[in-house]
Structure 1
Amino acid sequence: MVELKTPEQIAKMREAGLVVAAMHKACAEAAVPGATTKDLDEVAAKVLADHGAKPNFLGYGGFPGNICTSVNDVVVHGIPSADTVLKAGDLLSIDAGAIIDGWHGDAALTVFVGDGHSAELHELSRVTEESMWAGIAAMRKGNRLVDVSKAIEGYIRRQPRPSSGKYGIIEDYGGHGIGSQMHMDPHLLNYVERRRGRGPKLVPGMCLAIEPMVSLGTAKTHVLSDDWTVKTNDGTWSSHWEHSVALTEQGPLVLTAPDGGRAKLAELGVQTAPDPLG
């Protein structure tokens, strides 16, 4: 069953989404050479407390952090640690979430730590982020779930190939429904898998976390002995971008973007829904 939200519930998710946006801003600013990923987790905890929000990552399945901090060849679910010291040239994914009155927000972004990043890494992040926006733009009433997957994969496949020969669209992880829980039906692949069919129809009240994960090589991953940290099998670096999005009668609303996604979706010719918080 896919949970459909009322306008009032979407407004609460928007509140949670703005807390996530504030977490991202503060953590990205703190992600400097010499900082530890534990430092970033403490920054995130302060933002949550300042907004009267709860973390949805801390304690989830036993996860020990307020955010996920995934560095270089870690795709997702990196555990914040005082032993992980950021250095110039690192590529960092910050995945953050918040709960307001029982309603969830969840988003991720890729951050360049210091200087010294290759043009190829900048392009990897750009391709991943733009594929997310292509998926968001496909979140239209009457489309089906597979249309979002198709838009994400299609954007990535149309880009010039990196020197490694291909972009790997990570296979074992994807987007998901979100609302009264962080992870809900439906599961959203970042590529089209024919045997899964077209998936549910997209209707107002549906909320999805759209999150492509792309590497400079393989699509295959493995989990480390901590049962959380996910790395690429070939050691290639990856990028991860995510927004939580609500579909309304007036169009999509990007719950975790400060402007609701208005500016970026306007570039793509998509009208966004009015912000319920003004």
Structure 2
Amino acid sequence: MSSRNMIKIYSPDAIANISRAALLAAEVLELAAQRVAPGVDTASIDEFCASYIASRGALAAPLNYRGFPKSICTSPNDVICHGIPSPDVVLQDGDIVNIDITVFLDGYYGDTSRTVLVGEVPSGVKLFVERAEKAMWKGIEAAVVGHRFNAIGDSIERYVKKFNYSVVRDYCGHGIGAAFHEDPAVLHYSSRSALPMLQNGMVFTVEPMINMGKNWRSEVDQIDGWTARTVDGSLSAQFEHTVAIVNGKAQVLSIPPHSI
């Protein structure tokens, strides 16, 4: 965990600007999700998102970030995160796929993701995905002034353990705003470390990656250097929002207020 002294406190005006970026990311994500169907390749979703983001006067933050070759991440089935869109990855009936969108708009970043069902998905898998989304909300609800960041991971892990799922520990949420990734690292699992206290003006992502199996570990593709998969081949699902601490609690920036 980086020093708590490095965590930025954003003004209301800055949070409003971050919110505009986050809302655009949410808009792109919704449009991308609508394109998910059996027979669709992930490269076509990426191409659509890249064009739409540019049309809105924004930049796709992942493109060329530390060498990442595409504008969005698409992570199907056992891919935990950082899946690279490809014409060779064709979605099949019964798949699940996480779509992760980050945009840079007028000097600020906004980040959001969701796991989308492809066609007819088995009921047990659908329930798993629903629970992964609820795990994210458990973390968001725990993000209140007076708590340490530990409360986020505690709430998430306590919830998913009831179903014998596991929380990925190799990746975490992060501060966001004037930079794509800022302090703090936001752990989605229980930790005994004395993590920083939550304060008004902090902006960060809550984005737990939940594995359907008991093994939380991941392995990165040795060829592309990005794609992270479950080591046991189990499914993985993720949901993500950008949130700000406002008036003592988490305000979700990456979803329109009327949708909450």
Amino acid at match of 1:91: I
Task: Return structure 1 stretches of 4+ with deviation > 6 angstroms.
Answer: none
1:205 has 2:201 as partner: yes
Name the CA distance, whole Å, in 1 between partners of 2:91 and 2:26: 22
1:239 has 2:237 as partner: yes
Aligned equivalent of 1:119, options 113, 123, 140: 123
Residue 113 of structure 2 is matched in structure 1 by 108
Aligned length: 253
Aligned equivalent of 1:179, options 177, 184, 205: 177
Residue 217 of structure 2 is matched in structure 1 by 220
Residue 156 of structure 1 is matched in structure 2 by 160
Amino acid at match of 1:210: V
Amino acid at match of 1:100: L
TM-score by length of 1: 0.88
Name the CA distance, whole Å, in 2 between partners of 1:134 and 1:10: 22
1:8 has 2:5 as partner: no
Aligned equivalent of 2:90, options 58, 67, 85: 85
CA deviations over 1:98-157 (Å, ceiling 9, x no partner): 111221111110000111x11221111111111111111111112111011111112212
Q: Check the 8 A contact 1:55/1:99 in 2, yes or no.
A: yes
Amino acid at match of 2:115: T
3-state SS, counterpart of residue 74 of structure 2: strand
Show structure 1 runs of 5+ residues with no match: 264-278
Matches within 5 A, 1:233-272: 233-249=231-247, 251-259=249-257, 263=260
Name the CA distance, whole Å, in 2 between partners of 1:149 and 1:184: 18
Which region of structure 1 is more displaced relative to structure 2, 28-37 or 242-251? 242-251
Q: Check the 8 A contact 1:145/1:202 in 2, yes or no.
A: yes
Deviation of the 1:260 alpha carbon = 7.0
Amino acid at match of 1:221: S
Deviation of the 1:59 alpha carbon = 0.9
Please tell me the root mean square deviation across aligned C-alpha atoms, in Å: 1.3
Aligned equivalent of 2:143, options 139, 143, 149: 139
Q: 1:260 to 1:211 in 2, by over 3 A?
A: farther
Name the CA distance, whole Å, in 1 between partners of 2:254 and 2:146: 23
Amino acid at match of 1:118: P
Name the CA distance, whole Å, in 1 between partners of 2:234 and 2:50: 30
Amino acid at match of 2:225: D
CA deviations over 1:56-77 (Å, ceiling 9, x no partner): 1111101011110001100100
Residue 59 of structure 1 is matched in structure 2 by 64
Aligned equivalent of 2:36, options 31, 35, 42: 31
3-state SS, counterpart of residue 14 of structure 1: helix
Q: Check the 8 A contact 1:254/1:260 in 2, yes or no.
A: no
Q: Check the 8 A contact 2:73/2:81 in 1, yes or no.
A: yes
